[in-house]
Amino acid sequence: MPTSPSLRERTAEAAAPVPPGPPNKGDGRRARPERAALLRRIGLRVLALAVLLGGWQLVTALQLWSPVLVPSPAAVWRALLETSGTHDGVRGYQGHTLIEHLGISLRRIFIGAGAGVAAGLVLGVLMGTLPWVRVVLEPAVAFLRTLPPLAYFSLLIIWFGIDEAPKLWLLAIAAMPPVAVATASAVASAPTALVEAARAIGARRGQVVTSVVLPSALPEILVGVRLAFGIAYSSVVAAETVNGLPGIGGLIRDAQRYNQSDTVVLGLFAIGISGLLIDAALRLLADRLAPWRSHA
Amino acid sequence: MPSAPDTEKTRTAKAPGSAPVVSVTGVRHSYGRGADAVTALGPLSLEIPAGEFLVLVGPSGCGKSTLLRLIAGFEQATEGAVEVFGERPDPGSQAGIVFQQPRLFPWRTVGDNIGLALKYAGVPRAERPERIAGLLARVGLADTAGRRVWQISGGQQQRVAIARALAGGKRLLLLDEPFAALDALTRERLQEDLRTVSAETGTTSVFVTHSVDEAVFLGTRAIVLTNRPGTVALDVPIDLPRTGADPDELRGLPAYAALRAEIGTAVREAAS
C-alpha cells in the first residue's frame, strides 16, 4: 500500500479520543458534592430514627397506655436479650433463639419464594414468547395474584398437612405471579431494534431469545424478583399461623397469645430489618447483573 | 493523481456475464392493507454487480430505507422479486448490516458485541479474540475490546457496529444512513475510513443516505429515488479514484463538483 498513509494516520487518530484511564472522567469533580449529599441524607435518617425512638420512649415513660399495649424500648431490648440466650434454664423463645426463629423463616422464604421465582420465570418467558400461552395463563396468574395468601393457605393445609410443605407452597404461590407478570411483559416488549441487530448477525430464533430477549428483560425481571421476595416476606407470618414454631411468624403469633407485646414488637423488628437487608442485597445484585440499566 | 487501476471498483470493472450480487425485479412495496395501503416503493428494477459501492440517495420518505430492508430480508416485497446471490434475502445469511443507530448490545462489552457476530458466523471460540482485535483495529478502535458500550462515544459505537457487520465476512454490506446521527467532524472521519475499508476489501455495498456529498464521496454508483412511491430518477456511475486519494484533493476535483451538481439537481427535482 504505497499511497494510503494519510488515511491510516486519520484512522489511528480516530482511536485517540479513547482515554486509557478509568472509564468515568470527571468523577473526581462530582464526587465531593455527591458525598456531601449522601452524608446529609444518612444524617437525616439517623436523626429521624432518633426522634422516633425518643417519641416512643417518651410515650411509654408517660405511661399513656398500659405497658401490655405499648411496651417500652427497654422491654423490647430485654426481650431481645432473653430470646437470644438461655435464661432460667429456658433457651431463647420456646427452645429456639431469635436468630434461629428468623433463620428458619428465612430458609422457608428462600426455598419457597425461590421455587416461586423459578416457576414465574419459566411461565413468564413462555407467556412472553408464545401468544397462546399468554392468552391461556394470563387470567389464571392475575386471579392468583389478587388472592391474599392466607385465603388459599386453608386449602394447602387440607392438601399437604401442617408441616413444611404447605408453608413452602404458600410462599411459592405468593412469589410466582409478580415474576411471571414482569417477565412476560419484559420479554414481550424486547426492543425490535436489537432483535433486528441480532438477526442481522445471523442469530436464529432461539439465539435471539438468549442473546437479546432475556438480557434486555433482565432489569425488569429483577424488579419482579424483588417484588416477589417482598410479597413472600409479608406472607411469612400468614404461612406460620398454623404450626409455625419455630419460625419468626410463629413466634409473633405465640407471643400474642400470651400478651407478650414486647416479644411481638421484637419479632416485627426482626422481620422488618432482615427484609430491608434482603431488599438492599437484591438491589445491589440487580445493579451488578444489569449495569447498563443506569447508562441506557 | 495516483490511482491504482487494479483495485478500482467501478461498474465498468464488472466482468461480462457474471451474476449480479443483488437483483431487484419489478418490485413494488406497500405498507398497510386495503384502502389504507400506502405504496412506499416502486415499481423498481435494478442490478448491483459484485464490487460496486451503490449509494441510494433521495428525500426522506422516498422508500430508500425500505429498499434496503427488502434487500436485507427484514421485509418481503408486496410485488416483484428480490434476489441476493441468487437466493431469497434472509437476514444474517447474505449481508452484513449497519443501521442508523449503532444498535450495540449494552449487556456485552465492545469486544463481545463483535464476538457474538463471530460466534454466529461459526468462528471457533479460540480464534475469536484475535479476530476481534483485528476487526477493531480495522475501524480504528484498537484496544477498546474490554470497554463497556456506554463508555465510548457515539461515533466510536458506530465504528463498532461497522466492525460487527464486517465480522461475518459477508461479501455484501448494507448501510442505512449509518452516519446521519453523528456530528459533522465524526461523520467526515467515518466516511473517509469507510471509503478506505471498502476500497481495500472490495466488498459490494449498498449505502442509503440523504446527503448528496456523502453519495459522491463514497459511491461508485449513485441512484436517486423519487418521492413516494420511490422509483429510479437518476442512475449514474461515479468514476473517482478509490484508493490513495486525499479526501480534500478528491473533493476539489472538477468531476466531483460536476457529479455533486448532477445528483443534487436530481434530488431537488425528486423532492418536489
Residue A9 pLDDT exceeds 90:
no
Res A30: pLDDT: 55
- Partners of B128 on chain A (C-beta within 8 Å) are none
Res B33: pLDDT: 78
Q: In what order do the strands lie in the sheet with B38-48?
A: B38-48, B22-31, B79-84
Domains in chain B: boundaries: 7-94+171-271, 104-169
| Residue B45: how many other CB atoms lie within 10 Å | 14
Ranking A219-233, A250-264, B29-43, B46-60 by mean pLDDT, the lowest is: B29-43
Cβ contact A4–B149 (<8 Å): no
CA distance A56 to A61: 9
What number is the average pLDDT over the span A152-172? 92
Res B7: pLDDT: 42
pTM: 0.76
Fold of A90-294: MetI-like fold (1.10.3720)
Cα angle vertex A201, ends B182, B147, to 5°?
55
Res A5: pLDDT: 42
Q: Are B34 and B188 in contact (CB under 8 A)?
A: no
Q: Which 3 state secondary structure label does DSSP give A81?
A: helix
Ranking A36-40, A122-126, B232-236 by mean pLDDT, the lowest is: B232-236
CA distance B246 to B133: 27
Buried b (16+ CB within 10 A) or exposed e, B153-192: eebbbbbbbbbbbbbbebbbbbbbbbbeebeeebbbbbbb
Residue type, A11: T
The average confidence (pLDDT) of chain A is 86
Tell me the pLDDT band of A18, cut-offs 50, 70 and 90. Answer: very low
Q: Which residues pair with B202 in a beta bridge?
A: none
The highest-level CATH class for domain B7-94+171-271 is: alpha beta
Domains in chain A: boundaries: 27-64, 90-294
C-alpha cell at B58: 433521495
Burial (CB count within 10 angstroms: exposed 0-12, middle 13-18, buried 19+), residue A86: exposed
Question: A74-100: per-residue pLDDT in tens?
Answer: 999 999 998 888 888 888 888 899 999
Cβ contact B74–A199 (<8 Å): yes
- Partners of B116 on chain A (C-beta within 8 Å) are 198, 201, 211
CA distances from A158 to B86, B105, B181 (A): 67, 50, 64
Q: Are A149 and A208 in contact (CB under 8 A)?
A: no
Question: B77-126: per-residue pLDDT in tens?
Answer: 888 899 999 899 999 889 999 999 999 999 999 999 999 999 999 999 99
Residue A12 pLDDT exceeds 80:
no
- How far the first Cα of chain B sits from its last, in Å, is 38
Burial (CB count within 10 angstroms: exposed 0-12, middle 13-18, buried 19+), residue B73: buried
Interface test with A, best of B107, B123, B186, B195 (most A CBs within 10 A): B107
Distance from CA of B73 to the nearest CA of A (A): 9
Cβ contact B150–A295 (<8 Å): yes
Tens digit of each residue's pLDDT, chain B (272 residues): 444 444 444 444 444 457 888 998 888 888 887 777 888 887 889 999 998 999 999 887 778 888 999 999 999 988 889 999 989 999 988 999 999 999 999 999 999 999 999 999 999 999 999 999 999 988 888 888 899 999 998 889 999 999 999 898 888 999 999 998 888 888 888 888 888 888 888 889 999 998 999 999 999 999 998 887 888 888 889 888 877 778 888 888 888 899 999 999 988 888 77
What number is the average pLDDT over the span A237-257? 89
Cβ contact A194–B105 (<8 Å): yes
